[in-house]
Amino acid sequence: MTQPSSFLQGLTLVDAVVQRERSSRLAYNASRLSEATRIERSRVSRLTQELRELGYLERDEAAVLRVGDAYFRTAGAMNQPWLRAARQELRQLAAQLDLSAQVVSSDGSRALTLRCEAPSSGAPYLRPGSVTPIWCTGAGRALLWDQSRSDLEALLCDVQFVGVGGPHAARSVSDLHALLERDRGNGLVYAEEEYVEGVLEYALPVRDGRGIVASIGIAGSRLRGRRAEAAQKALRAAGARLSALAARTQVDGLS
């Protein structure tokens, strides 16, 4: 029998912590969480440590676990009308182009996948809740579209560039800044083999009228000629629709 993935077990742990908080009963520590979810104690310890590092769980001085800020940020974002509409946009992109499609948001130096769709041959690393480096993925770099050189240096001052990403990934802030300058000139993020060898990505920021709230990207192989042109055209149209909805939602929220 296939073992549950770390991702699914992590979701199970977060859900158990949330449900426990909602019940107003004594919160779980790692041992009680292991018993409640029937996940091995050593695995619970490792996964909760990772979830705490990502900000989805917090642990107090009594070793009691509660949901963290990242959980609430993600939950709030997932309730936005434009993000609900993104599901259909991504499905259409994936089906029409036979490419993986995703919407991501920024989480410091990482890109957090909010929604994704993929054909059967799609990228296995794409799944809701997964994190990837913000600087060497197409959708990640689109989140940095408005960042200046000094902004990038401040954001990525502690990042280890070497050894991360694919063969064409940026290896310094200078490399990243140069790629962004090229992308801005083209009006579209183009990332070839920057995260996964053999994979090309296109991406665009999604804006709500105040700034970038997320990005939308597509990824696949053999993107050349007319297929590449069709992919870029479809992505631009989907990105424009999501940005228009995000901006309208933001205006309605202020009125």
Are 114 and 104 spatial neighbours (Cβ–Cβ below 8 Å)? yes
**Residue ranges covered by each domain of the chain:** 6-73, 80-254
Superfamily of domain 80-254: GAF domain (3.30.450.40)
- DSSP class per residue in 110-154: EEEEEEEE--TTS-TT--TT-EEESSSSHHHHHTTTT--HHHHHH
Same CATH topology for 6-73 and 80-254: the answer is no
User: Would you say residue 176 has pLDDT above 70?
Assistant: yes
Are 84 and 93 spatial neighbours (Cβ–Cβ below 8 Å)? no
- What is the residue type of 74? T
Residue 255's pLDDT band (cuts 50, 70, 90): very low
- What is the residue type of 240? A
Read off the pLDDT of residues 27-60 as tens digits, 9 standing for 90 and up.
899 999 999 999 999 999 999 999 998 888 999 8
Structural tokens at position 56? 């989805």
In this prediction the pTM is 0.72
Classify domain 6-73 by CATH architecture.
Orthogonal Bundle (1.10)
User: Would you say residue 140 has pLDDT above 90?
Assistant: yes
Distance from C-alpha of 123 to C-alpha of 146, rounded to nearest angstrom: 27
